[in-house]
Amino acid sequence: MHVNPYYEKLPGNYLFAEIARRVKAYSAAHPDADIIKLGIGDVTRPLAPAVVNAMKKAADEMLAPATFHGYGPDYGYEFLIDAIREKDYAPRGVALAADEVFISDGAKTDTSAIQELFAPDARIAVTDPVYPVYVDSNAMAGRLGDFTDGRWNRLTYLPCNAENGFVPEPPKEPVDVIYLCYPNNPTGTTLTAAQLTPFVEYARKYGALIVYDAAYKAFITSQVPHSIYEVPGAREVAIECCSFSKTAGFTGVRCAYSVIPHEVTGIGGNGQRVELNALWKRRMGSKFNGVSYPVQRAAEAVFSPEGQAQCAEAVRYYRENAALIRRELQTAGYEVFGGVDAPYVWMKTPTDSWAFFDRLLDQAHVVGTPGAGFGPSGEGYFRLTAFNTREKTAQALERIRRL
């Protein structure tokens, strides 16, 4: 058996695994160090009571033969799909058919698995810096060429930096797929409808697909779209991935959803248009047995009036953490970006970003994420998350200020 040769081209570990490895090694060498983690975007607030109650009730149903649930529908239970259509999309003027929404265990799962629908030689574009999952999953499928000098030579990078105000330009050359994540991970910045429009126009002109990751939309407070479908013409060219992880604290529970409108097509072998929706259904049928019933009931409860209020409270808490991080870093003289409509604050570093990571870990016992780990344009920047507790966040910032 020969292994997939493209795995051998991957540089080192997955970013957050590499950070965990370094922190573990540091802790082992410095057992007394009280390390505060503002690295991976993992939540710390407990689940909303409405969510837990729904989960418990569903677990009780599993005790009785009459209400027990075995295999669920591959694409998700109707009750959750309808809640998403009616409570998440309809209020924004986005009408979705029930079979355009797919329930899964995570946006990471969906944004990485979607590439199975692309031709092996599809050309890919990503904003740079970028959530590494989009890049790694396409590299594993052999689409990105070779990784040399910190870049994949068959990947189109769309730089986002302080110089361009974190507003990427559409690719200069024809590509097949563009990944966009807004509010952005890692920079915490957003795009307005007017700034997203050129991407939709590009996709329509070149027959490209937009994979839109909206995992952080619950954090939006400014006048920017929560969904790519708020941009006219997007329904024909975009799929959208959303998650309960950051909205409702589901990082350990696992539930997410993706939208694939029927109008989104690719070109088949005979030159005919093929619906990605049909291909995704085919894939789900063969590869997925659905998210568990109690978890889907828990996710449904996120959309109940109590669930909405309780989840909004947690999001507000993280947003206040982000404001605190921004304020404290600015006071300490750092240049900061993002963190207004997102749980991530992106800061300029005085040294290269891995050196800054090491210094912060060693001298402040604070973990963040080096910008270089998100792509070449991330060099010189650093990401802090707002997901820790208020106390730990304040303590971490105090230590950074003292550096």
| Binding stretches for ligand MLT (CB under 6 A) | 40-42, 108, 131, 185
In the complex, least distance from residue 15 CB atom to ligand MLT, rounded to whole angstroms: 8
The smaller minimum CB distance to ligand MLT, of residues 185 and 310, is found at: 185
For residue 52, what are the contacts with CB-CB under 8 A and spacing of at least 6? 298
In the complex, least distance from residue 218 CB atom to ligand MLT, rounded to whole angstroms: 13
Q: Which residue's CB comes closest to ligand MLT?
A: 41
In the complex, least distance from residue 185 CB atom to ligand MLT, rounded to whole angstroms: 5
Which of 12, 36, 28, 11 lies closest to 368, judged by CA? Answer: 36
In the complex, least distance from residue 120 CB atom to ligand MLT, rounded to whole angstroms: 25
The smaller minimum CB distance to ligand MLT, of residues 137 and 185, is found at: 185
In the complex, least distance from residue 41 CB atom to ligand MLT, rounded to whole angstroms: 3
The smaller minimum CB distance to ligand MLT, of residues 41 and 307, is found at: 41
Which of 260, 250, 228 lies closest to 294, judged by CA? Answer: 250
Which of 213, 243, 208 lies closest to 135, judged by CA? Answer: 213
The smaller minimum CB distance to ligand MLT, of residues 108 and 226, is found at: 108
In the complex, least distance from residue 42 CB atom to ligand MLT, rounded to whole angstroms: 6
The smaller minimum CB distance to ligand MLT, of residues 132 and 266, is found at: 132
The smaller minimum CB distance to ligand MLT, of residues 42 and 82, is found at: 42
The smaller minimum CB distance to ligand MLT, of residues 85 and 254, is found at: 254
In the complex, least distance from residue 271 CB atom to ligand MLT, rounded to whole angstroms: 37
